[in-house]
Structure 1
Amino acid sequence: MEAPAAAPRHVLFLNWRDTRNPEGGGSEVYVEQIAGALVGRGYRATLLCATHSAGEAEEVTAAGVRVLRRGGRHTVYLRAALVYLAGALGFGPLTRRRGGRPDLIVDVGNGLPFLSALYARRPVIALVHHVHREQWPVVLGRWLARFGWWVESWLAPRVYRRCQYVTVSSATRDELAVLGVDPARVAIVHNGTPDMTIEPTARSAQPSLVALGRLVPHKQVEVALRTVAALAGELPELTLVVAGQGWWEPQLRQVAADLGVTDRVRFTGFVSDAEKRELLATSWVALTPSLKEGWGLTIVEAGALGTPTVAFRGAGGVEESLIDGETGLLADDDGDFVAKVRLLLTDEAYRDAMGSAARAHAARFTWSVSGDTFAALVTRAAKVPARAPVEQIEPSYLVP
């Protein structure tokens, strides 16, 4: 892989979390994989994110990405602007002595963007994993939800009207188009599938399900719990492992108790990569009942180990990380979700064939290809003067 022809450029990623954050998820994995890929191609990469107890104020990842942690969950947006502006004035962590001001910013919008295009005299790439229309009312109260949706749907498209967009699925590109973002400005750079190599591992002897991810309301793990309750009578040995952590766990444990399935459900908390691979490899079926996903990283992770997934139709990028009827099944509602899970649990031949197809599908997506694509986009965007008309960027060559 060739490094950029010019001197290594400095790319600043603005993201509210990093992978060491206890609430980090697939979005954070994507950002750090892409940042690491840029470092491997001759760039400098800095990630500015919120502080948390599991990480220092500053560190360098194994991939060579410099991580700056400033501000909290809500103040990180303001702190990012202050750090950038301080660097422009010659002091702070973005001075030449500390690595220099960035040549380009990747502004990651997880509902709320950093609005860096308002203050940064540098090219900005707006990275959006998915649109949060359905999630705002679930996560916040009525008035805060309305404000959040206004920022995401009205303010952000105007702030980034001359910026290149990147997203991870065609579904999100279509959603952005509804918000007024020209699809010609939106490049798709898929997630890669992590290395899921594992020693030969047998499936559990009895029917087993796994739900992997952050424990927050919009992941809808309650659907998985209700599925276990609905199938308990006909599959008396059925179990579910809920792997992950989050502030919604006490509520989920209460739901399990109310449904009378506490003895069938195991909450693991945080799991290591090795534990995650073992859980996905031994389970019969993986469940992703999330309200919305930009991609569905856990779906391809399960697929890489031959485990099919049941998810909801219309939940964003899951319709690309999962091929309905081939690598998993998409349900239309809660009742259909239960029916789809029942079908896979009771038809071994169908389940095995689907698992084989899921393994092949997951192998199509690699971080190497994603890194090449993103690096090409950064190289091209960085050559365009800040605030130049977006037509000069011509990103459509990256869109499948």
Structure 2
Amino acid sequence: MTKKILLINWRDIKNPEAGGAELYFHEIFKRLNANGYEVTVLAHRVKGLPDEEVIDGMRTVRIGSKFLFNYSAFFYAKKHEKEYDLIVEDLNKIPFFTPLGTKAKRLHMVMHFFRKSIFRETFFPLALYVYLMERAVALFYKNENFLAISESTKEEIDDMGIRYKKMFLVEPGIDTEYFHPTEAKANPPVISFIGRLMKYKNAQFVIQAMPRLKELIPGIQLQIAGSGDYRPELEKLTKDLGVTDSVQFLGRVSEDEKRNLLSRSSLFINPSFKEGWGINNIEANLCGTISMSNNVAGLKDSVIDGETGILYENDNPEGFCEKAAAILHAPERLHTLEANAKKRALGMSWDAMAEKMKVAVDSAMES
């Protein structure tokens, strides 16, 4: 008998603002769909997209607005709960509070919580709202089934005082066939950033490092791929620092362009203040490139420091520059890290992670 799942997330995979969280649930649940499960994705409306369509076999329903979707989703889940064997809620920024409105079996996925880092990202009233909504999870999600995408996220859930019934761990997977080297390493070296251009993604850190990096590594180039509201600030910073000749803004790139960029890069820089995992790190690894990542929750799970990549401290920009220069001037050590990273990444396919999710979903339905 087919088991029906309602998966609630702010954005679906076709949303122009879709990122790692959307890729995660889409790739995993499309593998579960039609394999004993029938998945419906509930997300907010997007101009130019239909209110309902089928994407990779999954029914996608779009309701409500971008900013008030949490209320729309709450009432939709309450109205339709009897149609589903399990409600899967992606707890991302603002919770949907499904435990207050439904009696159905539930599973709550957590990419990461922003916690105090949200105050770096947006103006105070909105940041405070997000912060308080996240804190409310500990009050209204007691004795629920939770799923974390990394050990760091699980530790965060514990640290917030959330008392759960069951905890599952399912890391993001990757297309191990698609991601592979497609270009030779650039010379002079290229370092790259790929992600949404939002303040918390912290691309500004890498730009601020460029004057010093140019001294340590002559000819080095930084290529930035992605779009977002913070791009004007980043472009202004580039001009103010006088590094426009060595920093390129590529805009939003296709998957093929991303793969090419990761391949020609000598280092992929992941400076984000907050991530649940850091899937771009693993994509880079499969393309033969190691990541230098900020030593924060999530990123420190996707990068094994000194083995598959390098971690640095955000409050030590000089240390970052010295580490980058040291590894780029030591090709044998760099090649060893690249080989280690690729070997590890090859074991993290989406198929493998879908099997782990199946175990979590079945267990949540039975609890």
TM normalised by structure 1 equals 0.87
Aligned to 1:94: none
**C-alpha RMSD of matched pairs (Å):** 1.7
What is the CA-CA distance between 1:84 and the residue it aligns to?
A: 2.7
Unaligned runs of at least 5 residues, structure 1:
1-6, 89-99, 385-400
Single out whichever of 183-192 and 66-75 deviates more from structure 2.
183-192
Shift of 1:156: 0.9
Q: Is 2:329 the counterpart of 1:350?
A: no
Counterpart in the other structure of 1:41: 35
Q: Does 1:289 align with 2:271?
A: yes
Structure 1 residues 84 and 181: CA distance shift in structure 2, 3 A:
closer
Query: Equivalent residue for 2:77?
Result: 84
> Could you tell me how far 1:182 is from its partner in structure 2?
4.1
Q: Which residue of 2 aligns with 1:185?
A: 166
Displacement of 1:270 in angstroms is 1.3
CA contact (8 A) 1:293 1:316 kept: yes
What CA distance in whole angstroms lies between the structure 2 residues aligned with 1:370 and 1:253? 38
Write out the 4+ residue segments of structure 1 that deviate beyond 6 Å after TM superposition.
Answer: none
Instruction: Give the whole-Å Cα distance in 2 for the aligned partners of 1:323 and 1:79.
Output: 41
Residues 184, 102 of structure 1: alpha-carbon distance in 2 compared, 3 angstrom cutoff? closer
Are 1:52 and 2:46 matched, yes or no?
yes
Q: Kindly state the Cα deviation for residue 40 of structure 1 after the two structures are TM-superposed.
A: 4.2
- CA change 1:55–1:346 in 2 (3 A) is farther
Q: Which amino acid aligns with 1:21?
A: N
Of the candidates 219, 234, 238, which is equivalent to residue 216 of structure 2? 234
Counterpart CA distance in 2 for 1:200 and 1:367 is: 21
Distance 1:184 1:349, change over 3 A: farther
- Aligned pair in 2 of structure 1 residues 328, 184: CA closer, same or farther (>3 Å)? farther
Aligned residues: 364
Following superposition, the deviation at residue 145 of structure 1 comes to: 2.2
The equivalent of 2:292 in structure 1 is 310
The equivalent residue for 2:306 is 325
Structure 1 residue aligned with 2:342: 359
Change beyond 3 A, Cα 1:199–1:167? closer
Cα distance 1:243–1:14, how it changes in 2: closer, same or farther (>3 A)?
A: same
SS at structure 2 position matched to 1:254: helix
Answer yes or no: is the 8 Å Cα contact 1:51–1:69 preserved in 2.
Answer: yes
Asked if 1:259 corresponds to 2:241, the answer is yes
> Residue deviations 1:11-57, cap 9 Å, x none?
11111112222221111111111221210422000111112235322
Alpha-carbon deviation of 1:184? 6.7
Whether 2:121 is the aligned partner of 1:128: answer no
Q: 5 Å matches for 1:5-44? A: 7-44=1-38
Give unmatched runs, 5+ long, in structure 2. none
Q: Give yes or no for contact 2:138–2:163 (8 Å, CA) kept in 1.
A: no
Q: Aligned residue for 1:391?
A: none
2:358 alignment counterpart: 375
Change (3 A) 1:16 1:40: same
Residue 143 (str. 1) matches residue 95 (str. 2): no
Per the normalisation by structure 2, the TM-score is 0.94
